[in-house]
Every structure is written in C-alpha cells, then in structure tokens.
Amino acid sequence: MHSPKAEELVERRYDRMKSEVLRRAIKVQSEILQASGGFLRQHGFVEILPVIISPVTDPLRHATGRAEVEHYGHRYQLTRSMIFHKQIALLTHDRIFAFSPNIRLEPVELADTGRHLVEFTQLDLEMRGATREEVMDLGENLLIHILEQVGERCPEEMDFFERDLVVPHKPFERIAYREARDRYAGDFEGVISQQHDEPVWIVDMAVEAREFYDREDPDRPGTLVDMDLLYPEGFGEALSGGEREHTFDRVQQRIESTGLDAEEFELYLAFARRGLPASAGFGIGIDRLTRFVCGSRTIEEVALFPKVPGTLSL
C-alpha cells in the first residue's frame, strides 16, 4: 500500500512523463545544454563540476529557508548558487562554467509565478579579470548562439510548440535599474519583459537591491556594476551577474553593511584574505531558458521533475 501522498503524486506525474510536451521540451533542453557547453568551450572556458553542499553559500537577497546537512558535526548548506566557489575556482582556471543545481527553499507564495522551482539548474560562469561589458557581450553571443542552434536542430519541436523563435539583435537594449523602477512602478521587470519583443538588460542595480558580492562602483557609491537580463514577451528574468567584490576589505565591508553575520562567510573571507582574482560572471537558469525557448506558460510544464514551492514532487 502506498501512502495517499504518494498515490496523488504518481497520479499527477506518471502519464505526464510520457507526454509529447515533456518529451519535446526535454529534447530542446538537451540541445540547450549542448549548445551552451560547446559555445563556452570554444571560448576558452573549462567546465567544472557543481558543488552540492558547502559550509558557505549564496545568502541571496530574499528570504529562503535554510537547507542544511550535518556530517560529523560539520554543518553544510545545500548550494543556493555557486558564486563563491566560482570566484575561488578562478585560482585554478581563468574561465570556468558549471551546470549547477541550486536549492532555494522558496516561500509558497512563489508557487504560481510560473518561474520558480525549489530545485533548478543554472549555467553559472565566471571570467578572471573581465569587465561587465565583456560578460554582457559574452551573454548576448551565448544566447544568440543557443537560439540559433536550437532553431536549427529542433525544427519539429518548434513547430510542435508553435514557437516562432526570433534570434535577437546585438546589442540588446539597456535600462538603468533606477530609471526602470521609477518609470514602471511595482513589478517593473515583469512590465518591461511584457512590453519588449527582444531581450533587455537592466544595469546598475542599487546596492540594497543585490547581494554583497556584486561590485559597487567606486565612482558612483550606492550603484553596482552588475546586470540582469530579461527575456521578452513576459518571460521575465533570464540571468543575473556582474563584476565582483574580491578584496578582503571590500568583501568584509559589504557583508557588514548588508547586515549579515560575517561568521557565516568565514571560509570565503579566509580565501579573500589570501587573495581572490578580480572577475565578472553570471548565471543563467536552464529551466527558465527551456521555458522561454518552448514558449511555455510555466516552468513546471517543461521540467522533468519539477519541484514547485510547497508541493511534494519526485
């Protein structure tokens, strides 16, 4: 006998596993993985393996539940993003990327956004010595390459999803964060995404709007040298990244001014004290990218084992 919860889950998911929608979406996703990994290798990046547990992980700006594992008295957290490991991995190689599973125990209010899963994968990359301009240029070329390659290799899938994928034109439009916030009140990212038919960058976030590791512009205190990319047609946020704080003093100051407990970041700070390279990078969500390419209403529709906040899943 199975528990009612297990029965209910299998009822919801079993037939769906054999559905045409899922079969085609996962094929598209596989092409996205191939296209993005191939592109980055061609551009001198080395793929590293993802980190699943660590004593230190991304604090994020919004509240997520703490996901912890204890092992022989050591407390590890499940990775919320590999940001710190990316910076540290640059001691080994100058350009790195990983398909990094992230666990974010999101509040149940985010269950209906169509964009949030508790477990998702981001293609996370970092470039030693790079500027924001350089990673934005790389991001545009990467997205264009993925869309071109998927268009070429998945014509049947695009027909199936009735998706007329438009390959965007460079350079993508840019809007400064404060201007965006003032011009479109409330969910400005949603409105901007809705009103555009090509991707749009939001640049120069306010210091209080982002995590401490994005670099504050020394010439414009209070403004970060970072960016988000929004998909067009209302699909919302695609990626976020920027230049990084990397010197011990700056990292420590930023942690303190954000009101975080420096002890939580002790290990990362110890690496920063020894010296971390200047860098820039970003992370782009693979599940959201799959949703965008397939033109699906929700991320759940195109994920093989979707973990929607608050709902039991496999």
By CB under 6 A, the residues from 6 to 65 that bind ligand ASN are 58
Which residue type sits at 92?
Answer: T
Beta carbon nearer to ligand ASN, 145 or 244? 244
Least Cβ distance, residue 216 to ligand ASN (angstroms): 14
Number of residues that bind ligand ASN (CB under 6 A): 10
CA distance 127 to 44: 10
Residue tagged 């919302």 (tokens): 236
Candidate ranges 152-160, 179-187, 228-236, 279-287; the one touching ligand ASN (CB under 6 A): 279-287
By the rule CB under 6 A, 175 interacts with ligand ASN: no
Residues numbered 181-240 forming contacts with ligand ASN, rule: CB under 6 A: 240
Query: Is residue 287 within 8 Å of residue 230, measured between CB atoms?
Result: no
Cα gap 268→127, rounded to integer Å: 18
For the CB of residue 82, give the shortest distance to ligand ASN in the complex, in Å.
7
Nearer to ligand ASN, 180 or 224 (CB): 224
Task: Please identify the residue of the shown chain whose CB is closest to the bound ligand ASN.
Answer: 283
289 binds ligand ASN (CB under 6 A): no
Query: Which residue's CB is nearer to ligand ASN, number 55 or number 155?
Result: 55
Of 282, 296, 303, 306, the residue at the interface with ligand ASN (CB under 6 A) is 282
Q: Does 124 bind ligand ASN (CB under 6 A)?
A: yes
The binder of ligand ASN chosen from 114, 199, 283, 309 (CB under 6 A):
283
Site string for ligand ASN, 71-110 (x = CB under 6 A): ----------x-x---------------------------
For residues 118 and 70, give the distance between their C-alpha atoms in angstroms, rounded to a whole number. Answer: 20
Q: Is 241 in the site for ligand ASN (CB under 6 A)?
A: yes
Summarize as ranges the residues that interact with ligand ASN (CB under 6 A): 58, 81, 83, 122, 124, 240-241, 281-283
